């Protein structure tokens, strides 16, 4: 029987894009989804084997990992529990003799991270390293999708409001990450033992992102930096305390330059240049326009 690759978080931003690329490459895929809904039905229609399960339940991940050659592991940033989930995933992968694990981490994953979630990502990396299974960690900077998280403010008030001060970083799209994930899952040996920081092509301040939004939309969008306590207040009833602690801590990290830098890894791994912010915003244009 031909072994499949497993994509967890299959309806999320990186998982969904990884599956698009794997299907394009003709690679047999199993998708682990949290819920059966129109998104999972769409995957099935496109020829993906769908298993429903909870990434924090040992028997669910064990079932999902059966007869899998290489697996992409991603845990949602919005809730606590990544360390236990990682330990379950590693144990199940050992039992199921999975050949390779590709782990979604982040650039701020450090022993001394201010963010609890980023420190947990660092511990999760160490758990996978100790599993004995060949592992690749990807550590992206902030996703380009952050601009879309605040689309309503852009659409309704022509304002981009983020807590990143004047910091520069190179936003990386979920689509480029999906291409990286697909490339690693289809040729994992080449990437065993590697930790890849992933960046978009150009470092930008949010003032420059607002300039790109203005150019693409043909109206003036202004960046109004939000102070970090104000950002925490804004998120208070919308997000978990765990998530708020994370995003406020990484906003500080970003202001201190931790998210900065760029490299040519995406092009080296996928053979394609990463998408820049002008093209990304052009593709997402409708989100920023009121009907």
Ligand X SMILES: NC(=O)c1ccc[n+]([C@@H]2O[C@H](COP(=O)([O-])OP(=O)(O)OC[C@H]3O[C@@H](n4cnc5c(N)ncnc54)[C@H](OP(=O)(O)O)[C@@H]3O)[C@@H](O)[C@H]2O)c1
Residue of 72, 143, 164, 288 that binds ligand X (CB under 6 A): 143
Which residues, 68 to 107, sit near ligand X by CB under 6 A? 74-77, 104, 106
Token readout for 89 is: 């995933």
Residue of 4, 9, 100, 206 that binds ligand X (CB under 6 A): 9
Least Cβ distance, residue 270 to ligand X (angstroms):
17
Taking CB atoms within 8 Å and a gap of at least 24, the contacts of 238-246 are 239/78, 240/78, 240/79, 240/80, 242/78, 242/79, 242/80, 242/116, 242/117, 243/77, 243/78, 243/79, 243/117, 245/115, 245/116, 245/117, 246/77, 246/115, 246/116, 246/117, 246/118
Rounded Cα gap, residues 268 and 273, in angstroms: 9
Instruction: Examine residue 163 and tell whether it contacts ligand X (CB under 6 A).
Output: no
Q: Which is nearer to ligand X, 35 or 111 (CB)?
A: 35
Residue 143 has what DSSP assignment? B
Q: Which is nearer to ligand X, 140 or 201 (CB)?
A: 140
Instruction: Examine residue 54 and tell whether it contacts ligand X (CB under 6 A).
Output: yes
Q: Which is nearer to ligand X, 12 or 163 (CB)?
A: 12
Instruction: Examine residue 134 and tell whether it contacts ligand X (CB under 6 A).
Output: no
Residue of 56, 91, 116, 131 that binds ligand X (CB under 6 A): 56
Rounded Cα gap, residues 85 and 124, in angstroms: 9
DSSP assignments along 31-68, one per residue: EEESS-SHHHHHHHHTT-EEEE--TT-HHHHHHHTTTE
Residue of 4, 5, 6, 11 that binds ligand X (CB under 6 A): 11
Contact criterion met (CB below 8 Å) for 256 and 113 = no
Q: Which is nearer to ligand X, 146 or 242 (CB)?
A: 146
Instruction: Examine residue 206 and tell whether it contacts ligand X (CB under 6 A).
Output: no
Least Cβ distance, residue 219 to ligand X (angstroms):
26
Q: Which residues bind ligand X (CB under 6 A)?
A: 9-15, 34-35, 54-56, 74-77, 104, 106, 140, 142-143, 146
């Amino acid at each position: 029987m031909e072994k499949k690759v497993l994509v967890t978080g299959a309806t999320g931003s990186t998982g969904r894009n990884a599956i698009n690329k794997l299907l394009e490459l003709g690679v047999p895929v199993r998708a682990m989804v949290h819920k059966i809904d129109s998104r999972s039905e769409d995957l099935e229609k496109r020829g993906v084997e769908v298993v429903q399960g909870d990434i924090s339940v040992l028997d669910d991940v064990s079932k999902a990992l059966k007869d899998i050659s290489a697996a992409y592991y991603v845990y949602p940033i919005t809730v606590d529990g990544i360390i236990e989930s990682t330990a379950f995933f590693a144990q199940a992968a050992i039992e199921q003799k999975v050949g390779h694990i590709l782990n979604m981490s982040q650039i701020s994953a450090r022993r001394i991270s201010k963010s609890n979630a980023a420190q947990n990502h660092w511990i999760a990396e160490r758990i996978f390293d100790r599993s004995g299974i060949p592992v690749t960690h990807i550590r992206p900077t902030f996703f380009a999708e952050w601009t879309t998280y605040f689309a309503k403010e852009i659409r309704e008030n022509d304002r981009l409001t983020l807590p990143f001060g004047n910091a520069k970083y190179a936003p990386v799209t979920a689509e480029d990450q999906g291409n990286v994930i697909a490339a690693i899952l289809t040729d994992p040996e080449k990437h065993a033992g590697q930790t890849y920081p992933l960046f978009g092509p150009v470092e930008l301040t949010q003032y420059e992102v607002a300039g790109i939004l203005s150019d693409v939309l043909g109206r003036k969008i202004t960046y109004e930096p939000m102070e970090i306590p104000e950002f925490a207040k804004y998120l208070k009833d919308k997000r978990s305390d765990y998530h708020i602690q994370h995003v406020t801590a990484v906003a500080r990290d970003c202001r201190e330059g931790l998210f900065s830098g760029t490299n040519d890894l995406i092009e080296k791994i996928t053979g394609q240049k990463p998408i820049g912010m002008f093209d990304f915003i052009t593709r997402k244009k409708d989100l920023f326009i009121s009907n």
